[in-house]
Amino acid sequence: MSYSSRVHDILQRAGAAEGDTLLVRSEGRDSTGVLMPHHDFSHPDVVVLKLKSGYNVGVMVTPTSEVRVVSKSEVREKRPKAAVNGKGKKEVAVLGTGGTIASFVDYRTGAVHPALSAGDLVATVPEIADVCDVRAEVLFSIFSENMNVEHWQRIAEAAADRINSGMEGCIVPHGTDTMGYTSAALSFMLDNLTRSVVLVGAQRSSDRPSSDAYTNLLSAARFVVDTDAAEVVVLMHETSSDTAAAVHRGTKVRKMHTSRRDAFHSINVSPIARLDFEGSIEFLSSYRRRSEGKVTARTEMETNVALLYFYPGMSPAAFERVLNDSRGVVFAGTGLGHVSSDMVKAIRRAVDGGTSVVMTSQCLNGMVDLNVYDNGRDLVTAGVMPGGDMLPETAYVKLMWVLGQTSDPKKVREMMATDLRGELTGRREVA
């Protein structure tokens, strides 16, 4: 939107427009790719080219740079204007929330900013118009570590509204850091879900080489439109190579690597599906099917809930306030769900005082079982609820949601022990 006058002039002289394939010779290096839309926060001297591989690269245009149009936009020549926008195809809502997928490198500072609008984001994937008619909007734009209950509520309400008004489903571009928490929250909040809500992220920003934003976004659109699923899922790269996406159930997914593109894994279950970037879609487990009717967003949540990670030497005194002043506490205990005998006593006092306590395992894989060892049985006696094979993060979100729905302790216990959204599989693995 705001190139420098130098870049503006060079592009104009070359007769280059967005969507054209350009060769840019700059600082002795040639780059060939499709000219992408410019956005405000980029350096005004940088043009972004989508390479043949699907990756984007930013090229600094210097006074000595040369730009040549290799070919005019194929899309514009081949298809009527309407099809470019996916007109006539099924409508899919893209609800922007921020994150790396909607961010780009500021070439002045090297920093990553979360400022690409949902529309700009979708514009980096022109092929999406072959799949659906995108209705992009920005709900908000934040780093996902700043997400909280209010953000979850806004996404859930928007998703329910767009689906109820006839859209084919929702794509939610989201920062990867807390995507698993948000997907769990949407899973519990969206009742009678009739279409899919796909959270999608990127481990590399969309204007960098090796960005996974492009393939993940396109795959998300395909999952929404081309399958009969009605699930809250996370869709990310299946492996570190650029071949397929894995679709994970919203309550069973966890970010398991800080930087790899295949960071997301389903824990204790198979992914729901696998989408080959060549076009095939394979379901790997059972899933909820589309239906008619109205989606309800039941977004009430208790925010006074804590997640505590147990470790040897953990001082009950230091955590007294958290334990006693919270409405709910989820522990990630050791092994089958253990904490020290000291902590058992502190937990007993908290439960007696009205705190709902749930035990999960920091092993992440496998089920808690509080009936094997003395310490576990003491926890049961103290009134602690076993979390089955729930992820600690999912148990935290579920407890917030359950305490938002009811304040009856018996009902809380019952709901925590019931599989509501595929979060409790109860599969017991002995190996």
State the catalytic residues.
100, 176-177, 255
55 binds a copy of itself (CB under 8 A): no
User: What is the distance between the alpha carbons of residues 264 and 238, in angstroms, rounded to a whole number?
Assistant: 8
Secondary structure (3-state) at 189:
helix
Reading the block at residue 112, the tokens are 């990553």
User: Is the Cβ of residue 125 or residue 263 nearer to a copy of itself in the bound state?
Assistant: 263
Considering the rule CB under 8 A, would residue 140 count as an interface residue with a copy of itself? no
Residue 388 sits in the site that holds a copy of itself (CB under 8 A): no
Cβ atoms of 403 and 355 within 8 Å: the answer is no
Indicate the SS3 state at residue 294.
coil
Q: Is 286 helix (H, G, I), strand (E, B) or coil?
A: coil
* Comparison of 163 and 400: residue with beta carbon closer to a copy of itself: 400
Check residue 430 for interaction with a copy of itself (CB under 8 A).
Answer: yes
Kindly state the tokens that stand for 150. Answer: 């209010």
| 54 DSSP assignment | S
Q: How many residues bind a copy of itself (CB under 8 A)?
A: 76
* Angular region, 405: left φ>0, alpha ψ -120 to 50, beta rest: alpha
Residue from 27, 228, 325, 352 binding a copy of itself (CB under 8 A): 325
Q: Does residue 105 contact residue 116 with C-beta atoms inside 8 Å?
A: no
27, 40, 74, 145: residue in contact with a copy of itself (rule CB under 8 A): 145
Would you count residue 312 as binding a copy of itself (CB under 8 A)? yes
**Min dist. Cβ of residue 9 to a copy of itself (A):** 33
Each residue 271-300 as x (binds a copy of itself by CB under 8 A) or -, in order, gives ------------------------------
- Identify the CA nearest to 193 among candidates 296, 322, 319, 305: 296
Indicate which single residue of 138, 308, 370, 415 sits in contact with a copy of itself (rule: CB under 8 A). 308
H, E, C per residue of 378-427: HHHHHCCEECCCCCHHHHHHHHHHHHHHCCCHHHHHHHHHCCCCCCCCCC
Nearer to a copy of itself, 372 or 417 (CB): 372
Give min distance, CB of 255 to a copy of itself, in A: 5
Considering beta carbons, is residue 207 or 393 the nearer one to a copy of itself? Answer: 393
Do the beta carbons of residue 264 and residue 235 sit within 8 Å? no
The verdict on 414 binding a copy of itself (CB under 8 A) reads: no
Token pair 């909040």 is at which residue?
189
Q: Identity (one letter) of the amino acid at 406?
A: T
71 binds a copy of itself (CB under 8 A): no
Give the interface segment with a copy of itself, choosing from 29-37, 63-71, 177-185, 217-225 (CB under 8 A).
Answer: 177-185
334 lies in the binding site for a copy of itself (CB under 8 A):
yes
* Residue 345 lies near a copy of itself (rule: CB under 8 A): no
- The residues with which 35 forms a beta bridge, in sequence order, are 49
- Cα–Cα separations (whole angstroms), residue 18 to 72, 124, 218: 9, 11, 20
Q: Whole-angstrom Cα distance, residue 244 to residue 157?
A: 30
Asked if 369 touches a copy of itself (CB under 8 A), the answer is yes
| Residue nearer to a copy of itself on the CB measure, 169 or 387 | 387
Which residues, 107 to 136, sit near a copy of itself by CB under 8 A? 111-112
Candidate ranges 35-43, 59-67, 69-77, 310-318; the one touching a copy of itself (CB under 8 A): 310-318
| Eight-state DSSP code of residue 288 | P
- The tokens describing 347, both together, are 């937990």
Residues 228-267 that bind a copy of itself (CB under 8 A): 240, 255-263
Contact call for residue 394 and a copy of itself (CB under 8 A): no
Candidates 396, 412, 421, 424: give the one binding a copy of itself (CB under 8 A): 396
